[in-house]
Amino acid sequence: MAKQGCRSKLSKTVLSENEKLFVELYFTQSSDTFGNGTQSIIEALGEKEFINSRGILSYDNAARRAHDWLRLTKIYEAGNKLIESQGFNDSSVDSQHSFVINQSAELGTKLRAIDIYNKLKGRYEIDNKQRELNVTIEIDGQTANT
């Protein structure tokens, strides 16, 4: 009985080979199926898994399975790690923000980046519109209301 409990806990935290492949296909930017759960799950599990009783590939069944898998904590966590390893993290975003502020080709974009920076640093007085909106952005422990 104890072995079954351990196996159940393990299956909730350790990815199977198919789940690893799904994470790779869905979350890797260079993948042909990046961001497409249906295509990622079909490629990870094989088309045969989703052939319905009429012998037709059921995209609805694949989409449902992909949806279920994307709601699993272990899939979500593995996906986040993969995304961060591809450069989508605070350091990379800060670097890109700095680039946008320091460039002179797109002044409208530059102005918005400077505006965000000034809000993060608290350089603006909060007016009534900002108080009503109640949106808070937090980056590296600093917050800004927008």
- State the Cα–Cα distance between residues 33 and 5, nearest whole angstrom: 35
Residue span of the structural domain in which 133 resides: 90-145
Q: What are the tens digits of pLDDT across the range 103-122? A: 888 888 888 888 888 888 88
**Does residue 10 share a domain with residue 69?**
yes
User: Which of 29, 59, 55 is closest to 43 using CA atoms?
Assistant: 59
**Does residue 73 share a domain with residue 131?**
no
**Does residue 80 share a domain with residue 16?**
yes
Banded model confidence at residue 5, pLDDT cuts 50, 70, 90: low
Decide which of 58, 85, 112 is a domain's last residue: 85
**Does residue 72 share a domain with residue 98?**
no
Looking at the whole model, is its pTM more than 0.85? no
Of residues 111 and 144, which shows the higher confidence score?
A: 111
**Does residue 72 share a domain with residue 14?**
yes
**Does residue 62 share a domain with residue 8?**
yes
- State the Cα–Cα distance between residues 19 and 116, nearest whole angstrom: 38
Number of domains in the chain: 2
Q: What are the tens digits of pLDDT across the range 14-63? A: 999 999 999 999 999 899 999 999 999 999 999 999 999 999 999 999 99
Decide which of 54, 69, 85 is a domain's last residue: 85
- State the Cα–Cα distance between residues 79 and 21, nearest whole angstrom: 11
Decide which of 85, 106, 132 is a domain's last residue: 85
**Does residue 97 share a domain with residue 81?**
no
